[in-house]
A and B are shown apart, each in its own frame.
Chain A
Amino acid sequence: MSYQIWEAGGLGPGASPVADSGASVSALFREHHAELVRLAVLMTGDRASAEDIVQDVFARLCARDQLPDPGGVLAYVRAAVLNGCRSALRRRAVARRFGAARDALAADGIRRSAESEALLAEDRREVLAALDGLSRRRREVLVLRYWLGLPEAEIAAVLGISPGTVKSTAARGIAALARQLGEPA
């Protein structure tokens, strides 16, 4: 079975629309590939997994005959990437416990890989470590809010929760972060 390679900067030679939705999927990923991988890196701490997760979402969307309505497709893709991150984190946790030698060994070494690559200052490392200590939902809300800069309504659409929940989760998340960092909320 042959596979087409879709370069980050555009469709590779010989690539063709996969289905009616294929062209729009390709365009979407052309525009947001890096953003989606970075989102997954921030959630998983692991670049290789992040790229796999985004690749997987891309392949699945290509295989679909229909996409969600155009207005909501980016939120849908972001949600799919976050779901992929959750699955990866859960698998990693279980794998660490038993059996998945490669995953587990890797997981021990990669949790902070994004940070080390960035040669982050101690101050930023401290913030990211505190973020890691939050619950999954708080972490997701804060990343979407403070990195992607999404408004509450869009975060709500991505996470499938109400805007009110987004607001309260963000507030609690920031308060918890401030506590961990020893700052006034």
Chain B
Amino acid sequence: MTRTEDRLTEALTAAARAVPEESLRPLIAPPARRRRPAWLAPVAAALGIVLVVGLALAAGTWLSGSRSSGGPAVGQAPLPRYYLVEGLQGGAPVARSTATGKITATVPVPKEANVGVDDILAGARGGVFFVTAAAPGTSGERLYRFSLTTSGQVTGFAVVPGGVLGNRNWSPDAMAASPDGSRVAVSFAYAYAGPGCGSTGERPCPAPRPDYIDIIDAGTGTRSVWRGGTGPAFSVASLSWTADGRQLVYLGQSCRRLQLNTEVCAHGGRTAEVRALNPAAGGGRLDSGPVLLRQSARYPYIVQAQITPDGTTITAVVLTGRMSSSHGISDLVPPDLSVIQVSRATGQPLRVLYQRNLGRTTDINTGPDFLQLSQDGAGQHWLLNGGLCAGHCTDGFNGWLRDGQLVPLSPVNGREVDQAW
């Protein structure tokens, strides 16, 4: 061994020794799952289909009488039979049955691409999907396109031209495909990945940088770039397209006041607004398009926002309610979650699709993607993922919205996973 190897071994051993075995938290095993008889799965699936069809018919009947509210038709498009979900623990993304949760296919991203990269997914109409995955041999990622067959199998998996996306400091963070699948919008988030910084004796860390959006032509790979978000903490939380592909709508969140000596947004300093861009302009400033919805007393904390394909309505995840504080520790976000639909024209709420209380939010993992809403190509069905992951990640949730309820989907504990249908 060289002196360097000796020193490394010694330092690692000493650092590991600082974690005594007897001081470790006990592990918690999940509750035992009951084994189901083999005949139960097909019967349950059949019952599920009957139930879904029945509810769809009922919802259609009910909604045909309430459409005068000005919102889009809800529940008329068939429920997508499959959804795509990012692989957990470095696995490849998989297609799962919406009815049973069963995995029907694994998306064949290159094996090396599974290592350490969160794959981002987006769906278009006709069972077309896009996924970003690490580009082997580079520090960036590549965009792939594929389709799901009617039996949930992956077909036509191919790389989208245009080269590598991002690099070690810039990673794809949100993505949406135009409904016809001809273009893909990808937002990039900056996360410094260089040598150590910020600690005693080290140089200061580079300042954070605002997100930007690339719109990529899925046929040619040509890109148009949109920059100019407000402030260094500007972040794109969600993206969506109108059906005609003439508007790309994004939710941008920013911070007008940082906590002293930190890069953390101070309490009450967060702002958020939903804007529309004209993709035909070929790039430009992110603040060049009109504001469709803005954080306000009525919508105090907008987490996600998507435009319906007809462009008339915004479906948003909004947090409201009073943040509690005890023992000097304040909640991080308001506790009452609502998925609502808002008129683009008037800004008035049209209907509530789902509500839930998050409980104390003192310790939740409020990364930028801790709540994610994904709509289907028809803009009539929504996946809602709550990757809250407090404590031991048992209080997250994941499912699709049906009649004010969250129908659980795997992974049921939420996690911060990307998914699409």
Contacts and interface: CB of A to CB of B under 8 A. Distances in A.
Contacts of B28: 3-6, 55, 59
A104 B29 contact: no
Contact of A5 (B14, B26, B201): B26
B132 to A, nearest CB: 14
Nearest to B27: A6
A59 B416 CA distance: 16
B103 interface: no
B interface residue count range (under 10 / 10 to 19 / 20 to 34 / 35 or more): 35 or more
Contact of A103 (B9, B116, B365): B365
Given A83-B115, A102-B363, A18 B22 contact: no
Contact of B368 (A15, A95, A111): A95
Interface string B262-280: 1111000010000000000
A120 interface: yes
B2 A178 contact: yes
B24 interface: yes
B33 interface: yes
B29 A33 contact: no
Interface string A141-185: 011001100000000000111000000000000100110010111
A37 B265 contact: no
Given A96-B263, A99-B235, A99-B367, A118 B30 contact: no
B326 interface: no
Chain A contact residues, majority secondary structure = helix
Contact of B29 (A18, A57, A100): A18
Given A56-B392, A93-B192, A98 B4 contact: no
B24 A19 contact: no
Contacts, number: 252
A55 B27 contact: yes
B4 A128 contact: no
Interface in B340-372: 362-363, 365-368
A42 B27 contact: no
B26 A142 contact: no
A52 B393 contact: yes
Contacts of B16: 38, 41-42, 147
Interface in B12-42: 12-19, 21-22, 24-33, 35
Interface on chain B toward A: helix, strand, loop, or mixed SS? loop
B29 A115 contact: no
A53 to B, nearest CB: 10
Interface string B242-274: 000000000001010001001111000010000
B40 to A, nearest CB: 15
Interface in B146-197: 171, 173, 189-193, 195-196
A22 B32 contact: yes
B7 A123 contact: yes
Contacts of B17: 118
B112 interface: yes
A42 B394 CA distance: 25
Interface string A84-117: 1011001101111111111111001001101101
B235 A98 contact: yes
A145 to B, nearest CB: 9
Contact of A111 (B114, B199, B263, B264): B199
Nearest to B255: A98
Contact of A146 (B9, B111, B190): B9
26 contacts: A3-B394, A6-B28, A26-B29, A34-B21, A38-B19, A55-B28, A59-B392, A63-B30, A83-B116, A86-B90, A93-B191, A95-B365, A96-B264, A98-B265, A102-B362, A103-B367, A112-B199, A123-B7, A127-B7, A127-B8, A128-B12, A128-B15, A129-B196, A136-B116, A147-B16, A184-B2
Interface of B: 2-5, 7-19, 21-22, 24-33, 35, 88-90, 111-112, 114-118, 171, 173, 189-193, 195-196, 198-199, 201-202, 208, 233, 235, 253, 255, 259, 262-265, 270, 332, 362-363, 365-368, 392-394, 416
Q: Can you list the 6 inter-chain pairs with the closest CB atoms, starting with the nearest?
A: A118-B18, A93-B191, A83-B90, A86-B116, A133-B195, A147-B12
